[in-house]
Structure 1
Amino acid sequence: MKTQIELSSVQKTAAPLNPPKKRLGAGKNTVIFIVLCFVAFLFLIPFFWMLSTALKTSAEVQSKDVHIIPEQIQWGNFADALNAAPFMGYVGNSLIVSILAVILTVFINCLAGYAFAKYKFKGRNLLFLMVLSTLMIPVQITMIPNFYILKELDWINSYAGLIVPRAAEAFGLFLARQYILNIPDSLIEAARIDGAGEFKIFMKVILPNIKPLIGVLVIFTFMWRWNELAWPLIAVSEESMYTVQLGLAMLKGEHFINWTQLMSLTLLSVIPMLIVFFAFQRFFIKGMVNSGVKE
């Protein structure tokens, strides 16, 4: 009986040792949460400012007094901006370019990543390093040669000229290779034993197992194509082929800029990217984590 009492007293004295660790963990999580909220707020400031400018009158925008909240909210600025420029035509061109570029780029990168990850051939690592080295080449260096190629192919002012030159990305190929390295070789060997061809293996075995990777590539590719300005500025000269970013750039006058219209259209141009991100966000983190370096 005495021993049981002593054990219970020891347990009572030892029990309070654990709660401080839990409290420290909770405090650490709280600090991290506050820091992340602050960083998120900093990222959202430009959007708050764009929305504030879009809802102001032209006189208030040009006033020396700065107000974050508009004195008179002008929701009609969005309708006026849509009527002032063929914005929906720009959106249509950007959607065609972005969607087709996503399909082509994701397919090429995944196919090339599968080859680099699962096929053993002479000079594979050297060729892969050469492809990755293109990431260090500024885009501006390749613009003039690509323009002459488009001119010879008669692809100026065409969707092919906007899509094909950037159809394969070294960054996407790198992510695809690293992710496909995690797929067991036994699955591929089993498919070969069953008589499946190499392309069928890619379509039936590889693609169903890399859905998170595809989600990541879709988000990045769509974002890059939708926000691209420099290449459309070179490949397109007719207004009927303007993309969203090129159209927004052309709205700036030489001596006057209508900031309310420009900010209204800029905010509207963000909506497609948000839709794509929310549609594929559940794959984003998993795809990025599983695309880590592995040899």
Structure 2
Amino acid sequence: MTAKSRTTSILLTAIVAILAVVYLFPILWLLLSSFKPGSELFSYPLKFFPDEITFGNYEYAWATMEFTKYVMNTLMVTVATTFLTVLASASCGYALAKYNYKWLSVFFLCILTTTMLPTEVIMNPTFTVIQKLGLYDSLWGLIIPSINTATGIFMFRQFFQTVPDDLLEAARIDGANEGKIFFGLMLPIAKPIIITLSIFSFQWRWNDYVWPLLVISDPNKYTVQVALRSIVGADNIDWVLLLSASVISILPMVLLFTVFQRYIMDTGASSGLKD
């Protein structure tokens, strides 16, 4: 390695390290502050590490927030939406990638154009439809509008296009119908995309705030994010409760990513084919 290359490598490593610190600092501050007693949160001068570590904040948050109820509501919405999103996106992406109809190209173009629209633009008509269907103040009012996503359809379409048509033809020659090809062949091959989209969908729905705030009015049906917002009052904020509850709310996402990160975008589309 030349001196110039070594210098460039050192500079790039330093820049990446600085960016990592910049991104991690607010998260570490949130995490460490959640272990501080209320008297230390606004002490001057501010301290990064707590003088006295306390776990009582989490017990207080869990008991005060009724987290079990809110977590169950959020899990119901998140798991159901993620399952239906993956199934709908995979079937649509498969049709767009492997069926040769001219109108499918137009349909795909229409799907892509929806990514150019701000969420706020379609929120009003979507809310009207949900209200007309009698799904207002219902968890299904959160699930149904979130099933179809252009991102998921695009991901599956691009992946299925890399699967050789010879693999499908061999399955048809063996007598497999389209349903068996899709569920028995294409979905197992697309496991990396399924896991990737599942993580994205889980994150989107778990962190969703605006749509649940509009659709849900019953406090017993609040999701975690809406419940967290209810902590912030007009006159005061219980910072001990807000900080510890916020840390609890991000733990499922951290656990999900830690378990499944090795599967993200790992590809095995050519498995089962001879060289």
- Structure 2 partner of 1:172: 152
Q: Distance in 2 between matches of 1:39 and 1:83?
A: 37
Match of 1:101 in 2: 81
Aligned counterparts, 1:243-282, within 5 A:
243-282=223-262
Shift of 1:27: 6.3
Kept in 2: contact 1:117–1:181 (CA 8 A): yes
Once residues 282 and 30 of structure 1 are traced to their aligned partners in structure 2, the CA distance between those partners, rounded to angstroms, is 28
Aligned equivalents of 2:92, 2:265: Cα separation in 1: 22
1:147 has 2:127 as partner: yes
Structure 2 residue 53 is matched with structure 1 residue 73: yes
After TM superposition, give the deviation of residue 61 of structure 1 in Å.
2.0
Match of 2:199 among 219, 230, 247: 219
Q: Name the amino acid aligned to 2:107.
A: L
When structure 1 is superposed on structure 2, of 145-154 and 278-287 the one drifting more is: 278-287
CA distance in 2, matches of 1:203, 1:27: 52
Tell me which residue corresponds to 1:238: 218
Q: Which amino acid aligns with 1:202?
A: F
Could you tell me which of 116, 120, 123 is aligned with 1:136?
116
- Displacement after TM superposition at 1:138 (Å): 1.1
Contact 1:134-1:170 within 8 A present in 2 as well: yes
Q: Percent identity?
A: 37
Note if contact 1:132-1:170 (Cα within 8 Å) is conserved in structure 2: yes
* Structure 1: unaligned runs, 5 residues or longer: 1-19, 291-295
CA displacement at 1:52 relative to structure 2: 2.6
Residue matched to 1:196: 176
2:193–2:265 contact (8 Å) kept in structure 1: no
Q: Runs of at least 4 residues of structure 1 off by over 6 A?
A: 23-27
CA RMSD after TM alignment: 1.9
Q: Confirm or deny: 8 A CA contact 1:110 1:173 kept in the other structure.
A: yes
How far the C-alpha of 1:137 sits from its partner, in A, is: 0.9
Matched, 1:54 2:34: yes
Alpha-carbon distance in 2 for matches of 1:84, 1:62: 22
Answer 1 or 2: which has greater helix percent: 1
Letter of the 2:225 partner, please give it.
Answer: Q
1:11 corresponds to: none
Instruction: Name 1:181's counterpart in structure 2.
Output: 161
Report the Cα offset of residue 252 of structure 1.
0.7
Preserved contact between residue 203 and residue 253 of structure 2 (Cα < 8 Å): yes
Give how far 1:51 is off: 1.7
Q: How many residues align?
A: 268
Preserved contact between residue 187 and residue 205 of structure 1 (Cα < 8 Å): no
Q: Which has the larger radius of gyration?
A: 1
